[in-house]
Amino acid sequence: MKLKSLCAALVMMAVLLAMASAKTRDTKDEAAKSAAASHPAQHDQDMRFEGEKRFHSNCSRCHAAPPKFPARMMGTIVRHMRVRAMLTDDDVRYILRYMTQ
Amino acid sequence: MKKFVLHAGKPTSVYLLALFLILCGKVQAQDSGNDIDIAVKPVPVLTGSTAYFTRVTGGQIQDAPTVSPLLLLPVGDHLLIESKAGFSDTFTKNAQGDYAGTVSYGLTYAQADYITKYATFTAGRFITPFNMYGERLAPNWIRDLQTTPTSVGISSGAALGGMIRGGLPLVTDKLHLNYATYFSTANTNHILATDRSTGGRIGFFLPGPRLEIGASFQQVLQQDRPHAVGTHFEWQPNAIPLTLRSEYTRSSGTRGSGYWIEAAYRLSQIPHMSATELVGRGQQFFAAANLAPAVAKKLGPLGIDSKEGDWGMNYYFRSDVRASASYGRQFALGRNTNLWTIGMTYRFVMPMWPTGGGL
């Protein structure tokens, strides 16, 4: 009974967090889109920085940074690493972009 | 408490499933409006590693060239077929003083992965998701020390069946959840041997401080049906080029329990030594109580209490070519041993289809 109550409470907390956070995120997305449209060079740099950050957070945990391969090879390697290292969808996209720029 | 009475008849798994779906929905909301996608048509790739190592274990010299090819075959936007094999020839001095080679080979994994946003569905032969060493650190071009920790052998390492796994941000992007759950059938083929087992792993990763902690469970569904539990930990502080890793595993059966702690420090802040990495590892293994002598002998290293300290150095000529050397001292009852290792690894990557140069 205690476990069921705990699970129900967790579900309710998740709902509240989801509602609160989705609103904040929507606002952030809109701000990011308008920033990208007005300052494309800065936006590209931000994307590269984010990709590099995610690369170092995830890939460098296990191995040294590989050289940059052609994009079509990187697409395969990143897909393999997504499965092996259980990367998130966003991680994969940022890292692929970073490794192919 | 009264407001939960309506749900009292529902099993706990329903709540957990609801929680999972809500979190997935939350993540989907986060991802909307993203403009980071680039269109890449992946090509088949042959990768893997070759290595040559000389090992001296208690005065016994072994030379072992190995090759471990990995074929990656992407199909469409969601499917990946991957297969990795291992081949080695271990040369040891025999009674006549001659070197005699023993060939060994095996299929590490051969699996098909269907990838979706939050889950990857895997079928085939795969590495069991238990702790982190087997799946992430085992390839010889990745592992910081070439000797495998004793406790890694406690759990069943290979599976033949199905698996669901994935990673997703949890509530915020500052906390990631990774999970894997699997079921394996028994197979007695000498190359594909697996136990009938089930289990899984869950991990929480903080990308900011680069810290991961996780737990694993495995239930063998044959013979004396032992189960194993494990925890793992990994931390890379942002301030210094240090990696700290640790695993603990305990089995309810004959395979005992053990842990290892490893630290690797890259001398990247010292001029002319930035390609050098220093490694140290300590481990302890506790054999199961009341093992019959015949069982203990059959279990090998898992049949006797032991402690071991290893120290090593890796030098990266390039990101894919590495020289390694290590010394270890193993303390076991009546069997204290020196372990020396020296050798090189090379990781290769080549396309199996024209890459075209562009996207």
Give domain status of residue B5, yes or no: no
Judge: A72–B40 Cβ closer than 8 Å, yes or no. Answer: yes
Tokens found for residue B215: 């737990």
Tokens found for residue B4: 């939960």
Tokens found for residue B227: 């189960």
Judge: A11–B173 Cβ closer than 8 Å, yes or no. Answer: no
Short-list A10, A99, A85, CA closest to B205 = A85
Give domain status of residue B126, yes or no: yes
Judge: B171–A14 Cβ closer than 8 Å, yes or no. Answer: yes
From A82's Cα to the closest Cα of chain B, the distance in A is: 8
Short-list B340, B337, B338, CA closest to B325 = B340
Q: Give the model's confidence band at B39: pLDDT under 50 very low, under 70 low, under 90 confident, else very high.
A: confident
Chain mean pLDDT for chain B: 89
Give domain status of residue B306, yes or no: yes
- For A94, the closest chain B residue by CA position comes to B36
Give domain status of residue B359, yes or no: no
Type and span of the H or E element at B258: strand B257-266
Judge: B319–A64 Cβ closer than 8 Å, yes or no. Answer: yes
Residue of A33, A62, A98 for testing the chain B interface, max B β-carbons within 10 Å: A62
pLDDT over 70 (residue B172): yes
pLDDT over 60 (residue A14): no
Q: Which of B25-39, B225-239, B311-325 has the lowest mean pLDDT?
A: B25-39
pLDDT over 60 (residue A11): no
Short-list B344, B267, B280, B339, CA closest to B312 = B280
Residue in B19, B29, B142 nearest the CB of A62: B142
Report the length, in residues, of chain A: 101
Judge: A86–B236 Cβ closer than 8 Å, yes or no. Answer: no
Residue in A4, A47, A89 nearest the CB of B4: A4
Q: Which of A72-86, B19-33, B129-143, B320-334 has the lowest mean pLDDT?
A: B19-33
| Residue B92: predicted pLDDT | 93
CATH of the domain at B106: 2.40.160.10
Query: Strands (DSSP E) along chain B, which ranges?
Result: 45-57, 60-75, 79-93, 99-115, 120-127, 158-170, 172-184, 197-206, 211-220, 227-235, 242-251, 257-266, 276-286, 306-318, 321-332, 337-351
Helix (H, G, I), strand (E, B) or coil at B156: coil
The ipTM estimated for the assembled molecules is 0.86
C-alpha span between B109 and A81 (Å, rounded): 15
Cβ contacts of A100 within 8 Å, gap of 6 or more: A68, A71, A74, B38, B40, B359
Domain range holding B196?
13-351
From B95's Cα to the closest Cα of chain A, the distance in A is: 40
Type and span of the H or E element at A4: helix A2-38
pLDDT tens for each residue of B52-94: 999 999 889 999 999 999 999 999 999 999 999 999 999 998 8
Give domain status of residue B357, yes or no: no
Tokens found for residue B260: 């290892």
Do residues B197 and B220 make contact, with C-beta atoms less than 8 angstroms apart? yes
Using an 8 Å CB-CB cutoff, list chain A residues near B113.
83
- For B203, the closest chain A residue by CA position comes to A86
Give domain status of residue B6, yes or no: no
Residue of B15, B79, B113, B181 for testing the chain A interface, max A β-carbons within 10 Å: B15
B20 versus B74: which is more confidently predicted?
B74
From A6's Cα to the closest Cα of chain B, the distance in A is: 10
C-alpha span between B100 and B97 (Å, rounded): 9
Give domain status of residue B7, yes or no: no
From B297's Cα to the closest Cα of chain A, the distance in A is: 34
Residue of A12, A48, A54, A61 for testing the chain B interface, max B β-carbons within 10 Å: A61
Cβ contacts of B202 within 8 Å, gap of 6 or more: B177, B178, B179, B214, B215, B216
pLDDT tens for each residue of B269-293: 999 999 999 999 999 999 999 899 9
Q: Which of A1-15, B87-101, B162-176 has the lowest mean pLDDT?
A: A1-15
pLDDT tens for each residue of B215-260: 999 999 998 899 999 999 999 999 999 999 999 999 999 999 999 9
From B255's Cα to the closest Cα of chain A, the distance in A is: 27
Residue of A19, A86, A93, A96 for testing the chain B interface, max B β-carbons within 10 Å: A86
| Residue A33: predicted pLDDT | 61
Using an 8 Å CB-CB cutoff, list chain A residues near B83.
none
Report the length, in residues, of chain B: 359
B26 versus B191: which is more confidently predicted?
B191
From B19's Cα to the closest Cα of chain A, the distance in A is: 5
Using an 8 Å CB-CB cutoff, list chain B residues near A94.
36
| Residue B7: predicted pLDDT | 44
Q: Give the model's confidence band at A82: pLDDT under 50 very low, under 70 low, under 90 confident, else very high.
A: very high
Using an 8 Å CB-CB cutoff, list chain B residues near A83.
80, 82, 113, 115, 120, 122, 165
How many contacts, defined by CB atoms under 8 Å, are there between A and B? 184
Using an 8 Å CB-CB cutoff, list chain B residues near A3.
12
Q: Give the model's confidence band at B98: pLDDT under 50 very low, under 70 low, under 90 confident, else very high.
A: confident
The letter for the amino acid at A27 is T
pLDDT over 90 (residue B337): yes
Q: Give the model's confidence band at B19: pLDDT under 50 very low, under 70 low, under 90 confident, else very high.
A: low
- The pTM (predicted TM-score) of the whole model is 0.83
Cβ contacts of B336 within 8 Å, gap of 6 or more: B329, B330
pLDDT over 60 (residue B6): no
Judge: B22–A14 Cβ closer than 8 Å, yes or no. Answer: yes
- For B135, the closest chain A residue by CA position comes to A84
How many domains is chain B partitioned into structurally?
Answer: 1
From A89's Cα to the closest Cα of chain B, the distance in A is: 6
pLDDT over 70 (residue B194): yes
- For B44, the closest chain A residue by CA position comes to A76
Q: Give the model's confidence band at B107: pLDDT under 50 very low, under 70 low, under 90 confident, else very high.
A: very high
| Residue A67: predicted pLDDT | 84
Percent of chain B at pLDDT above 90? 78
pLDDT over 60 (residue B311): yes
| Residue B35: predicted pLDDT | 56
pLDDT over 90 (residue B112): yes
Helix (H, G, I), strand (E, B) or coil at A89: helix
